Chain A
Amino acid sequence: MAKLDMAWRQIRRLDEIASQQTVIHQLDPRVKLIVTFFYIVTVVSYSKYDLLGLLPLILYPVFLISLAELPLKYLLIRVLLATPFVFFVGIFNPVFDHTPLFQVNGFVLTGGWLSLAVLLVKFGFTVMAALILAAISGINEIGGVLLRFRIPRVFVMQLLFMYRYLSVLMEETGRSIRAYQLRRCEGRGIHHKAWGSLVGQLLLRTIDRAQRIYQAMVCRGFQGELHLSRRNNKAGIGDGVYLIGWTCFFILTRWVNIPGLLGRLFMEARL
């Protein structure tokens, strides 16, 4: 129950963060989505050993987290929660790939270990970018952008309603489980004999609640179409700068090995 409550609060927290009014939050959602897409494509396009080349791309999340005043710890925990899945995908790389790449003080770094590290970094960057997009846009804005990009309305509505009704379902589940646990004297969890009736009750209560919400919506003129555009979203100069700036940065990092270049410059300066 506590876990369910906690999960619910975390989802709500993202909504709350998304409703902030920082410079980044006020950018055109289309631009935010395109830049995120470019970023993910750039990150994924690096070869499996190119750890150094990837590193400058950390500037994107760092820049956005600080400018949009996003809670770093909250985002990092979300990324870490998903890490085990990728870790197990790449865990056999060191076993199968023994190509020696570097030798530092007698320690040989094989391709397997490096590719595992690159995989984890790529995963961290892409998941972080997706989380940041959710935290600077909010579900409604994302829905609005999808519509503008000609994604069929029916899919977008499905997504938005699913998100909305998820809250209804979780609230009702929370209440039912709390009521069950308060009257369960011993043992933990839910006895398997109660599963059927609990799920059945939950379905009926959720339908009932969703019905009331729907009635409230139709009372305010809802006719099957959600109007999402909250404010005038005409792309301005700031949006253009944001889009072009990041795109140039991604291209630059992709074609120029910035850490290598800096390293060479540094070494030449020492010599």
Chain B
Amino acid sequence: MSHHLVEAKDLTYVYPDGTKALQGVNFRITHGEAVGIVGANGAGKSTLVMQLTGNFLPVSGTVRVGDYPLTPKTIPQIRRNVGMIFQNPDDQLFMPTVYDDVAFGPLNQGLPLEEVEQKVTEALQRVGAYHLKDRPPYKLSGGEKRTVALATVLAMSPDILVMDEPSSALDPRARRNLIQLLAGFRHTKIIASHDLDLILDLCERTIVLSGGQVIADGPTIEIFNNEKLLAQGHLEKPLVLQGCPVCSRK
């Protein structure tokens, strides 16, 4: 079986206060796919991505990542396969320097120090942030923080990248750089976002969530051209698919 497979069957999650965040979610993501997860605020996107790294365990149903079903015992193996990038990079960068932060994962994997150094260097070079290695993370710009957060995950050589709102709070140039960077990765990518233009650029497939349920799962371009479906999910067509604001008025 491929390490890159991600599968959810009848996945249900209820928060301790009784809020039903996910109800019977089903999907299967295979090797090398890039899948966008879109939906309104509170639709269950963040809860879903948290399930994929075992931060939350399903109340019922199953999640399968690669060769392992998600259970408390398999969480360490699953986390070796899945790299998670959080919505707020400040939550992810907590060490005194960028180098220490990127080294955090490989050190936890028990790698020898020489190999850790090599992995850190490779990951930082890959995202073009090697020059930041001795800087404290809190002094970086939003775009730099995001690329370093990406490097912290890449240093662990995951097969699958899971991202929660990767473009939030980025300026247009930093956002474009991030899109170009992610487009160059061959990992299986799962991106939860409100930024439909980013999803359109990066993902050939999209899953639409509404009220904790999957209301559509198919090719991104078809879904984003279905205005009725988008309205049902509190979404709008991505800007690139909308008419030109100047020409369409004429």
> Footprint of B on A, CB under 8 Å?
12, 15-16, 18-19, 21, 138-140, 164, 209, 212-213, 215-223, 227, 229-232
Contact = CB atoms under 8 A, between A and B. Distances in A.
Nearest to B114: A232
B107 interface: yes
A212 B91 contact: yes
B55 A231 contact: no
A221 B100 contact: no
B134 A140 contact: no
B86 A216 contact: yes
Contact of B100 (A209, A212, A230): A230
Nearest to B153: A220
A123 B111 CA distance: 44
Contacts of B97: 19
Interface in B100-125: 100, 103-105, 107-109, 113-114, 117
Contact of B55 (A164, A213, A215, A222): A215
B128 interface: no
Contacts, number: 73
Contacts of A216: 84, 86, 91-92, 94
Interface in B174-230: none
Interface of B: 50, 53, 55, 76, 79-80, 82-84, 86, 88, 91-92, 94-97, 99-100, 103-105, 107-109, 113-114, 117, 134, 136, 138-139, 152-153, 156
A214 to B, nearest CB: 9
Contacts of B114: 232
A140 B100 contact: yes
B96 A138 contact: yes
A19 B92 CA distance: 20
Nearest to A139: B96
A227 B108 contact: yes
A18 B100 CA distance: 13
Nearest to B84: A219
Given A19-B96, A19-B136, A231-B113, A218 B91 contact: no
25 contacts: A15-B136, A18-B96, A19-B97, A19-B136, A139-B96, A140-B100, A212-B88, A212-B91, A216-B86, A216-B91, A216-B92, A217-B104, A219-B55, A219-B79, A220-B79, A220-B108, A220-B153, A221-B80, A221-B105, A221-B109, A222-B108, A227-B104, A230-B99, A231-B113, A232-B113
The 7 A-B pairs of least Cβ separation, nearest first, read: A221-B108, A227-B107, A220-B105, A212-B91, A219-B84, A216-B92, A15-B96
